[in-house]
Amino acid sequence: MMSWRTCRRLSRAFVVLVLAAPAAAQSIDPSALLKPAADSWLTYHGDYSGRHHSPLLQITPDNVGQLGLTWAFQTGQTQQIKATPIVANGVIYLTTPDNIWAVDARNGRQLWRYSYPMNDGFHIGHRGAAVYKDSVFLTTPDAHLIALDARDGTVKWNVVIADAKKGYWSTNAPLLIRNHLIVGVSGDFDNLPGILRSFDPDTGKAQWTFYSTPPPDTPGAVSGGATGGQMWMTGTYDPDLNLLFVGTGNPTPVLNGEVRPGDNRWTCSIVALNPDTGTLAWGFQASPHDTHDWDAAEVPVLVDAEFGGAQRKLLLQASRNGYYFVLDRTTGKNLLTTPFATTNWASGVNEAGQPTPNPAKEPSRDGRLVAPDEAGGTNYRSPSFDPATGLLLVSAHDAYGIYFFKKEHGRYGWAGADYGVYGRGELRALDYRTGQVRWRHDLHGGAGAAGVLTTASGVTFTGDSANSAIALRTSDGSTLWHSGIGRVGNSPITYELDGRQYVLVGGGTALYAFALPTR
């Protein structure tokens, strides 16, 4: 028989449950990010791994040909959508510079919109939002971080990430790890230290700042006088190791390498940080002494898989410098370095697995013909890792540019000139163990435009460089479906609501939702 005390405890628990239930259903608990539900896309990458892969199975290679438009959301803006949408509680959060929309994930209706006041920050693009409890976060062109009420878009707080007057801006989709909201900035046109900051997602209070390059004249600095190394892309996170992995950008001055001798750590690197303190656990520099604007900011993809005969915690990156890297993410030790796109700038690969820059390919007064060009062998658009095939799908770019530097270009900001000559985009499926290209799919354009999504059913979604969203068979790259929605500028995502799987793709300035026909 149930005792009075037990009964009272149960009834209290019941009351708590009833009261807590609506909040639990709506408020986004940070722990949900560890294992995102099928009806959501909770981080820039969908989860913490950066694999941009979904376990959803409804849309398959056999039925994807029937995919049809369910709704379209027009931003009414002039800028192409580059952001990856966030989906939580049946609501999509979509961003462009200065703007965030909350959109009903079932029918594409706008729920609310917030527009940041006119500012003279750099409006180059925007990557996306982040969610936590009942807040959604937006970074701004003038390097502010804003917390909005996810229900109605009202501003909760607004803090400065970095000083826009000095030349910082932010396009960053923040990454939430427990009670840390981790935010990056950009700033290539000025000689600025590379910073990544963590804020309390409840209050906006600053928690820590990591410098990839320290403020000038910092004693003991390893950067060799370089600034830069901005962390403008969203990192990935391993909860077991409690390590955050972030790619860092190019050094500044950008093309003038003379005034910053040495490797210029930690620019063009992958760094592993403790998310509670911002302290560096290890770093791996993909491009020592970069003089070509090849950020190593691309997504560090976390995969647990066999390598060299042992099960390992791996980190994969197809980097802007045209090389594919495999690291042991526990230690940062390099396991593989091999090109995946046309390169001519390195004279070899050193013992640490770093390509060695050929000094003859540094920008010069009379110009150097360099592959890849400034846009790189790939860029920020998300790659995707498909566990079933072991393929890393990368939007690759074979390109040449000419690079110039002379003393008159000075030692500040860009400090040089470079011009793209020719480029061609191709989706490449890399065997994660070897970097060998298992298949290629022509993207029919100069540069890879879109990110990549794979699903557990064996379908790959991306965009070509011309006019279409496309679906391919992941095992061989053959085309299964396409829709001429205009040039895709973001990374497709997917979620399932009411038993129906949706695929979201940005085409031009609109967001399109595709699904199978309902009976």
8-state DSSP, 495: E
Q: Which of 132, 175, 188, 301 binds other proteins (CB under 8 A)?
A: 188
Q: Which residue has the tokens 């679906």?
A: 471
> Interacting stretch for other proteins, rule CB under 8 A, among 49-57, 148-156, 324-332, 420-428?
420-428
Q: Which residue has the tokens 């923040």?
A: 174
Q: Which of 360, 499, 517, 519 binds other proteins (CB under 8 A)?
A: 360
Please work out, in degrees rounded to the nearest 5, the angle formed at the alpha carbon of residue 383 by the alpha carbons of 177 and 95: 60
CB of 279 to other proteins, least distance (A): 30
For position 102 contacting other proteins by CB under 8 A, the verdict is: no
For position 375 contacting other proteins by CB under 8 A, the verdict is: yes
Residue closer to other proteins by CB (options 46, 445) is 445
Q: How far is CA 362 from CA 88, 255, 368, 411, in A?
A: 46, 8, 7, 15
451-470 residues near other proteins, rule: CB under 8 A: 464, 466-468, 470
Q: How far is CA 356 from CA 177, 262, 289, 290, 351, in A?
A: 35, 12, 9, 10, 10
CA nearest to 70, candidates 518, 513, 519: 513
- Determine contact, residues 48/34, Cβ cutoff 8 Å: yes
36 cis-preceded (ω within 30 degrees of 0): no
Give 459's strand partners. Answer: 473
For position 122 contacting other proteins by CB under 8 A, the verdict is: yes
- Determine contact, residues 170/140, Cβ cutoff 8 Å: yes
Residue closer to other proteins by CB (options 151, 411) is 411
- Determine contact, residues 404/418, Cβ cutoff 8 Å: yes
Write each residue from 202 to 221 as x if it is in contact with other proteins (CB under 8 A), else as -, in one continuous string.
--------------------
Distance CA 245, CA 235 (A): 5
Write each residue from 325 to 344 as x if it is in contact with other proteins (CB under 8 A), else as -, in one continuous string.
-----------------x-x
- Determine contact, residues 511/107, Cβ cutoff 8 Å: no
For position 159 contacting other proteins by CB under 8 A, the verdict is: no
For position 358 contacting other proteins by CB under 8 A, the verdict is: no
Q: Which of 108, 141, 201, 355 binds other proteins (CB under 8 A)?
A: 141
Residues written for the chain: 519
Distance CA 173, CA 179 (A): 16
- Residue 365: other Cβ atoms inside 10 A: 11
H helices within 359-416, ranges in order? none
267-326 residues near other proteins, rule: CB under 8 A: 293
CB of 422 to other proteins, least distance (A): 4
Residue closer to other proteins by CB (options 332, 355) is 355
Distance CA 342, CA 259 (A): 28
Strand 53-54, strand 453-455: pairing: parallel
For position 123 contacting other proteins by CB under 8 A, the verdict is: yes
Q: Which of 112, 157, 307, 400 binds other proteins (CB under 8 A)?
A: 400
CB of 369 to other proteins, least distance (A): 6
For position 367 contacting other proteins by CB under 8 A, the verdict is: yes
Residue closer to other proteins by CB (options 339, 445) is 445
How many chain residues bind other proteins (CB under 8 A)?
A: 65
Q: Which of 446, 456, 475, 500 binds other proteins (CB under 8 A)?
A: 446
Q: Which residue has the tokens 């239930």?
A: 21
Q: Which of 238, 290, 298, 374 binds other proteins (CB under 8 A)?
A: 374
For position 376 contacting other proteins by CB under 8 A, the verdict is: yes
Binding site for other proteins (CB under 8 A): 78-79, 97-98, 118-125, 141, 188-189, 254, 293, 342, 344, 360, 365-369, 371, 373-376, 399-402, 404, 406, 408-410, 412-424, 442, 444-447, 464, 466-468, 470, 479, 482, 484
